[in-house]
Amino acid sequence: MSQPIKAKHQRLVLVLVALAALIGAGLLAAWALRSQASFFYLPAEMAANPPEVGRAVRLGGMVEVGSIQREADGVTIRFVITDGKARVPVRFTGIVPDLFKENSGAVAEGKRGPDGTFVADNLLAKHDEKYVPREMKDMTAGQARAAVEETK
């Protein structure tokens, strides 16, 4: 006749099975997201070690002064992102964010083309901590607080 498993051993087996399930779930999630990861490059990093053509990455830096050129189609722009060490030409087709301007921070999401131009699918403009929406620019501090309270 066999003896029943002790409660202490049952708990140990349950903990081991749960731990194995957690590790398995973590590995499965990492495997599923491996192609979704978007690496962030600065222009100097992209010049030194460029990603393979067609790989989705993010490029961040400052928009070079005098580099913004609008194309005839009205929705495509070309500009250069720099970090002071290297320059990367960028082409973006779409609606440009309101805060996008020369000598300001920008992050472009896209892929490096075969000619070395970064083809952006998405363009994000960065702003400093003093940013105020244009709708609130002429408001006093009290009016701004009241407007924020109305949105809650």
Amino acid at 127: H
For position 129, what pLDDT does the model report? 59
Q: Quick check: 59 pLDDT over 80?
A: yes
What percentage of the chain has pLDDT greater than the value 90? 43
Range in 5-19, 23-37, 84-98 the model is least confident about: 23-37
For position 149, what pLDDT does the model report? 73
**Using an 8 Å Cβ cutoff, are 92 and 76 in contact?**
yes
Average pLDDT over residues 87-104: 91
pLDDT band at 80 (very low <50, low <70, confident <90, very high): very high
CB burial of residue 143 (10 Å; 0-12, 13-18, 19+): exposed
Number of other CB atoms surrounding residue 107 within 10 Å: 16
CATH of domain 39-125: 2.40.50.140
Amino acid at 105: G
What is the token pair recorded at 109?
């999401």
- What pTM did the predictor assign? 0.62
Residue ranges per structural domain of the chain: 1-37, 39-125
